[in-house]
Structure 1
Amino acid sequence: MFYISILLQLLESAAAASFSVSYQPRSICAFERSSVDFSCRFDYSSYHRDITTKWFKPEAHQKQDGTQVGISVYHSKAAEIHQLYKNRTTYAKQDNNCSLRLHNVSKSDIGKYFFRIETNSYYEKYTGPGGIHLNVAVLPFRVTVKTQTANEHIYEGDSVTLTCSTENCTPKQQPFVWFKNQRLIPEATDNVLPIDSVSHSDFGNYSCALKNSGTTSADEILLDVRYRPKNVEIVVLPSAKIQEESSLTLICMSNANPAVTNYTWFLIREANVSYIGSDREFSIRSASQSDEGQYFCIAENNMGSSNSTVIALKVEVPRSRNFSLIAVAVLLFLMAVLLVVFGVIIRRKQFTSKKQSTEQTPAVTVTEEIYENLRKSSEFEENHTTCVTYADLRLPPSTSDRPRSNSQEDNIVIYSLLSCED
């Protein structure tokens, strides 16, 4: 008995030495409902004329190393093919080529597949070792996000990897495409999308799919990058020119994640900065020139804060009011001019009255010469001499400060009649 066992082993070894099978590749991942190729080549001794070829899959309760022959996926005798695989396979049917194509794969096809050669001899049977493992990718795609840190959230500066995958496995023989907010990312062609240092610009919804394929794309997943407020700016509504007494609203806009929790408003006027509000919107019900100045806001969340750019607010006065102001100014100016003219006229009248009263008052200046004539006249009276004498009195120019008429001559001649008796 011992010798018989040894003889059988020798015969099996001799049979194995006359056969060989090679597989390529050893593992395959195929999409559900697609076709998959099991590439295979075999060799056998030339004296074997009548051989049977088959592909089989061990059942779940059998050993998965090929030592136990399972259900027939393909058989050179069609009647031997298992019902699950009828009309689903295509065999190469070429010398030394044992390749097999399996169509419309499903999750039930997951497992190992082996190629086997059988002859009429009981001892001349051979199964290619190792086989090919088939895994089936079950759609749809899904995007997963992984970070190098164990943080609950993703912050600016973190390293992030987005992976496009399916259930069980992910085929890699075809290029992938990635979308951010439904827009194509041209440089991403692999099923893995690495981001070394995420920023606020990477925030968005991501999805993936196979390139040039109708395969269903993945549901979008949000890359939730947390960052302090960015691009803070002030929007003025209405955006037209601000008229006096009109209403307007200033809105503090920003991008932030998480959302802004605190807003602060400031007004700059004449180098002074004043706090004016703490809401997202700052409203002015009736604008006036007192509201003019430079405005800015600060947006803050739990990641930090940022200032907006400064905007200058200018309130325009209506033209009708400008005309009224100009008219009032002109009227006041004319009234001032009239008052000045009236004052000048009054002063001139006063000056003329004073001048006339001065001219009516006689100005007599008796010089030594007049007194001399009067003295001689007196002497004649004493001598009782009756005579008529004409004397002329010449008045020298007056040295008085009082004004005199322009028609008055410089030398005034006064004729006097002096009577004298003997």
Structure 2
Amino acid sequence: MSAHPAEGLPGPPVGSYTDADRDRWCVEAPKSKQRTPFERDRARILHSSALRRLGAKTQVLGPATDDFVRTRLTHTLEVAQVGRELGKALGCDPDVVDAACLAHDLGHPPFGHNGERALAGVAAEIGGFEGNAQTLRLLTRLEPKVVDPATGRAAGLNLTRASLDASVKYPWGGTEAPLRPDGTPSGKFGVYADDAEVFAWLREGAPAGVRCLEAEVMDLADDVSYSVHDVEDAVVGGRLELEVLDDGGARDRVLAETRTWFGGQLEDAELLEAMERLRGGELWVRGHGGSRRDLAALKDMTSQLIGRFCGAAIDATRERYGTGPLTRYGARLVVPRQTLAEILVLKGLAVAYVMAPREAEPLYRRQREVIEDLVQVVAERAPVALEPAFAADWAQAADDAARLRVVVDQVASLTDVSAAEWHARMVRRVDR
């Protein structure tokens, strides 16, 4: 999220999409004109196997936790709805934003960020692992749709430049990742070294390290959705009562976890003021008992918070750039500091009462062990242990580092359920 103007940014005229924005990495035969190129992009992601797999991947709590909890797929659909409406209000092509939102979590491995951490460790010597970089790899290489007839290389979904660029949350590689506001490494990046060629193509004409407006809309839609919905899930699941913010000690705890997990984006005073605004408002649900009336009140709170956050960003962006359609590098999304503070407080609540406590649970340690074990045993038994598409990649890999990347691609593609099944079938070990 950005609160900065786009002064001096190069790019096409405000409100336009150019032929270059509609270009694809591989030239394709002319298609029916009943759909725009961007509508076709959205459809390709919607019908992808990677999107289907998100239905069995962890968002915050595992998919099998209960019948209510959000999965990566339901979260993705919510982000797409929020992002599409937000982008449309600013004049972005809604299908470009929708495609980026549908794609934004495709690269996440089994067990959510827990699995991401495990893969980052085992892949440290080959450039690491990052869910957003894996998303780009899926879109441009791994997801089956198009093969370059000239080279025989897989081109993934072969999306347009505009849609690909909109899906890049972190437009830099691992060695260029910026520090967080508090000076600690962010660890966030959007491209692996061996995907640099297609990354350079999709970023042609873009200022270094700057996201297009559609990517900023996608990122805000993601932040808004998971900050609000993680809290909703926690309340319904009995892990959090929103009355906790009435207690000074609890506010300090939320503040500390927000600093630890999200760095020093804002001053403590701004976060405390945001807590006061939230808990002092009529929307804030107290005494949730699970009745239909209580559930309706909670749902109304989440809906109105989403509208509040998106409306504030739309108003602030329009105030800076006027009423015309805004696209690509003609503008930057402006998020007021008060809005950012309230989003961070909701994230901090979920961290303090759901995410941080689970870190010490044996289940979460065991999940990381499952991922680490799978990488080791699949690498030892490759290519036999690999699915056919990944076995072909392994056979074409130039060296051990490239072969390990294929193994990581394979393990990352698994769902929570299939990772557990593969582990039970392939890994023999004495329980610790």
Greater share of residues in helix: 2
Would the TM-score normalized by the shorter structure come out above 0.5? Answer: no
TM-score by length of 1: 0.16
Q: Which has the higher contact order (CA 8 A, sep 6+)?
A: 2
Point out the structure with max Rg over C-alpha.
1
